[in-house]
Structures are given as C-alpha cells and as structure tokens.
Structure 1
Amino acid sequence: MNTLYPIFLKTEQLDFLIVGGGNVAYEKLFFILKSSPQTKVTVVAPMIRDEVSALAKDYDVTLVEDVYAPAYLEGRHIVIATTDSPSVNHQVYEDARARQLLVNVADTPELCDLYLGGIVTKGNLKIAISTNGKSPTVAKRLRQLFERIFPEDMDELLLNLHRYRSTLKLSFEQKVDRMNALTQELIKNDD
C-alpha cells in the first residue's frame, strides 16, 4: 500500500540533527545540502569522517565529536540516525518520537517517519522520487536518469515562464488555461 505523502519543506527554517559521522551520514548531509544549501545541520558522532568535515566547512553545519545523548535533540525538527549501532539508532528513534520530532533511521524503514528520497534538482525544478522505502537503489537510478534527461538550462525555461505568467492580467482560471496551453509542448508526443 502506498501511504506516503510527498512534501517539500523549507528546510532553511528547520534544524536538522544527524547522529553519526560516517559514510551514510556524509551521503545524507550531501543530499540535504545539495537540495537546500541554507539548511542548519548539527552532526553528532564520536568520530567524524574527513569527508563530512570538509563538506561542513562550506555550509551552516555544526560538528560535535561526542556520543549521542538525548540533549542533542533540543531545538531540532528532523533527526536522522546513521550510526552502525542498531541500539544507538533505536534509542535515537525512541527519544525523537517521545519529543514528537520527525525521525529517519537509515536503512530501517520501520523506524522512519520520513524517507529522504532521490531528488533531481535543475535550478528551480525539483523532482522527488520515492519507492516507499522498498528500493533506495531504484530511486537513486531514477534520479541519475532524470538528471541526464533534463537539460541544464531548465531553469531558464522556468524563469521565462514565471516572467510571462506575471505579466498576464487575467483571472486565475484564465492564467491556468493560458499556461497549460503554452506548456503543452513539453509533453507532446511525436508519434
């Protein structure tokens, strides 16, 4: 059953906590910052990989070399557990849920309120891909496919359409009709 609801968050208004400092933490941090560079993130782990440290230098990322403690949840909105310890990840989940925080435990769908799906970003165009946690690898491959398919100048098209739409002095319904007619070429089948 497909019960997930896709949603786009203004992550620059949220505070993230990543528990863990290894490869999985790097991957989660990389994609969060790629999609939303202004996101405030704190990474807590007893050891933080050099790649995580290097990435953190260019963004609003705080690195804390320490073991996880519930106090690190204070002021957070979204928590991501990426440690290689199932007991620590489960504790993070329990602590986050007790505080009504959204939590994702990497590679453990039953301990997730949300999934960090594949995201294609071409300027202002964002496409989120989810497999309901069934196959992150398929989501990754689809993201790679869409990144190749959509042209780099996609943002130019979006900005031009936005400018054109803002010049229209029509009712909302008339604007929708005009924009639908104008963009019909995007899905035109050349059969």
Structure 2
Amino acid sequence: MNILVFAGTTEGRQLIEALLKMKNMFVCACVATEYGKEILEHEPAQNLEIKAGRLNLEEMQELMCRGFDLVIDATHPYATVVTENIKSACDKTKIRYIRLLRGKTDFGSECVFVESTEAAVEYLNTTKGNVLLTTGSKELAKYTEVHDFQERLYARVLPMEEVLKSCNELGFAGKHLICMQGPFSYEMNKAMLNQLDCCYMVTKDTGKEGGAYEKYLAAKEAGAALVVVGRTEQDKGMSLQQVMNEISRDSVKETFAEWFPMFVNINDRNIAVVGGGKIACRRIKTLLQFSCNLRIVAKEISEEIRQMVQEHININQKAGLNRSIELLEKEFEIQDIIGADMVLAATNNREINQGIGQQCRERGMLVNVADAKEECDFYFPGVVMQGDLVVGITAQGKSHTLAKKGSEVIKNAVKDIY
C-alpha cells in the first residue's frame, strides 16, 4: 500500500513506525518543521519518504496526485485549518481520508473550561496572579490582550530559533519565556508552577500523549486553577489501534492486483498527447521510440520537446518512413483529439485533464489522465527497451517513486543482454 501521513503528533510518529514494519508498505510522511523531520530520520527506511514544510491546499492536492491508497491526518487536534485543507484535498483527488485523533482527557470538574483562546483571554482578564501558558506559540499573540501580560504571563514554547524570535517580537522575553521540549512530567509541571508562583495554568486538551493529565494533576497539587481550551465538537476520528486495524484489512485486499499488463500493437496508430510539462515530456520521449503517429498539443512547448521531435522527424525522413509527428502550440480544443486511437491528458490543469477524459469516454477513445488514476482507461508504464526486449512496469498508479525504482533495477539488469 502507498500511504500519505500528515504527522505532527506522538501518535503520528508511532503510526509511521508501525507502518514501516508492515510488508509491502510505502509511507510518505509530511511534517511541518525540520525538527519533525529529524525525529523521523532517526530510523531511516527505504520505504519512507519525508517531506518537511507546511503545505497549502494546492500543494497538498499536487502531492496527492502522485497516487496514494490512503491519506491519514495525524496532525495536532487543534490544527483545524490544516485538517480542513487535508480533507478538501482528499475530496478533490478522491482519496480516502482517515483522521487519527487522540482521545479527550477526563479532567476534573474543578477546571475552568473555555471554548476558544479568545474566551481564555477574556477569563484571565477577570483574574489576578501569574499564569503559565502551555498552549504553544501559534496563538500567543492573542494572549497579549491580557492585562499586564508582560508581568503576569509565562509562556512555555518549543526551543526553536523562529519561535524564540516571534515570541520576543510579541514582548515575551527573559524569565517570562520558557523554551523547552516536552513531554513534561507531573513533577516538572508542579515545580514550574511553584517556582513561578502561578495561580493559573492554561492548556489545551492535548490528550494523554500530550501530557494533559500531568498538567491537571500538577495544577491541582500546586493550588493553581487549570484553564482548559476545549476542542471543537466536530473533531471526530479513530484511535491509533483503530487506524492500524483499518490498514490491516485494506492491505489484505491489496494482495490481488487490479491491473493486468498487456502489450498493444500501436504501429501506425494515432496517439495524442495534450500537455507540454515534465510528465508530458517523459511520455513523449517514450512514445517517440515506437512506430505510432504522434500529435502533441500544448499552449507552451519546451525546447526539449521541440528538439526530441525534430530529431525523430529527421530520422523518419532519412529512413523514408511515413510516420506522422505533429507539434501544435496552441490552446487545447476538442478537434485536436478527433481521430485519435489513444489520448494522454498530461497538462498542469486539473479541470482540462478531467474534461479531456470525459470527452474521450463519450467518444469511445482510450484515455490516460496523468493526475487522476481513477479516470484512466490504461496506465502509461515505465518502459525499458533493449534491442527487441521491451519491458513495461507500473505500481498500479499508486507510487511513481516505486515504479521509477523498479524501472531502474530492470534497466540495470538487462543492459548486458545484448
């Protein structure tokens, strides 16, 4: 299986570690920071790819178009914007989405529960005394609305250079800024509350793995009120064990392949490629090695494609072949694929690719849609050629990386045959 995991929590790391131990499993892990990447890199694996950096909705969609069986959202319970983007990208790319979510903490009734950060600030403005903030740096700016915040508030944040800089800019500095990496024990939380003479401790419901219960016990023993910023009601998901059970069931289904390899005679057949980007270029390069007629349509055609095509036109002329190779640098129109036996939709525009797929199906044309495997009539394989030997390889549209690695292995294995 080919699984995309958006990590950022302890459960996310535990999930990735468990998946890597499973047979025939490839994991692409997305983490927001270089620190998150470093944690996963402690146990390197050939079936693991790590991508560091925050992705917007469009970047998530582009990544998912590589082909994944499943997307697992194991981001922080309060990362609501990220979760909404992941869900939206899954909807657009038609990939199954699972939310891995830690359970809520059973806090005592003596805690102060508020719905949002704004509500926490409003409550703190009705109180007096020092406050230990353990909610991280992301929403720290909102806490500057607390009266005398530079004297009352002590912020505990991650020891990262960019975090330190942003906190200083907000006015948190010196002993009022505590840069430490968790998890924090009950004893450490209690000692910190006593040392700073805090009457209040602000936390989110980060669950057992996030140390929420240790904060609750520490505040109770230190005589401080625990202010809990609650989660939204729509936060629903599966536990780590439930997610693993789902994947185990799905992996059994993956034992049987859906796509059977067949070799088709395309001699003198008309094939249209719509697009002029990197994917289109790779497919054109492959098709130019076969005796089909080729029509290439793109708004912009790269110099690399022009040179490849011209070389093959020259070869055809010298050999006296009647093979047709056309370059049409223009906006795509439906008449550009009329008469084609096969069509490859490989533009950088999802709507155009989808529209080409629909038009081809209505006309009974075989079509390959580069960014949506479920819209394909056939896969375009990795091709290795050595003399009369032609080898095609595919990962069933699930992992371009796996197919590329397989092609390289086969290429090295057959190069000495002739």
- TM-score normalised to the size of structure 2? 0.35
Deviations 1:143-173 (A, max 9, x none): 1111111234x24xxxxxxxxxxxxxxxxxx
* Aligned: 1:57 with 2:310: yes
2:395 is paired with a residue of what secondary structure? coil
Q: Distance in 2 between matches of 1:23 and 1:61?
A: 19
1:85: which partner in 2?
349
Cα distance, 1:98 vs structure 2: 0.6
Indicate the residue corresponding to 1:70 in structure 2: 334
The one-letter amino acid paired with 1:54 is Q
Shift of 1:66: 1.4
The residue aligned with 2:265 is 10
Higher helix share goes to which structure?
1
Q: Shift of the alpha carbon at 1:5?
A: 2.1
Corresponding residue number in structure 2 for 1:125: 389
Which position in structure 2 is the counterpart of 1:174?
none
Distance 2:308 2:325 in 1: 9
Amino acid at match of 1:97: R
Do 1:26 and 1:52's aligned partners in 2 also have CA atoms closer than 8 Å? Answer: yes
Is 1:33 matched up with 2:321? Answer: no
1:47 maps onto 2:311 in alignment: no
> CA separation in 1, counterparts of 2:267 and 2:302?
24
Identity among equivalent positions (%) equals 28
Aligned residue for 1:11, secondary structure, equals coil
Structure 2 gap ranges (5+)? 1-255, 313-323
Letter aligned with residue 140 of structure 1: K
| Matched letter for residue 61 of structure 1 | I
- Whether the 8 Å contact between 1:117 and 1:136 is mirrored in structure 2 is no
Q: How many residues align?
A: 152
Aligned ranges for residues 120-159 of structure 1 at < 5 Å? Answer: 120-152=384-416, 154-155=417-418
Cα distance change, pair 151–82 in 1 and its aligned pair in 2 (3 A)? closer
Paired with 2:415 and 2:345, the residues of 1 have a C-alpha distance of 34
Provide the C-alpha distance between the structure 1 equivalents of 2:302 and 2:383, rounded to a whole number of angstroms. 24
| TM-aligned CA deviation for residue 107 of structure 1 | 2.7
Which residue identity is paired with 1:52?
A: I
CA distance in 2, matches of 1:84, 1:49: 14
Tell me: higher relative CO, structure 1 or 2? Use CA pairs within 8 A at least 6 residues apart.
1
Deviation at 1:89, TM superposition (A): 0.6
Compute the displacement of 1:77 (Å).
Answer: 0.6
Runs of 4+ in 1 over 3 A off after TM superposition: none
Q: Could you tell me how far apart the structure 1 residues matched to 2:415 and 2:265 are?
A: 25
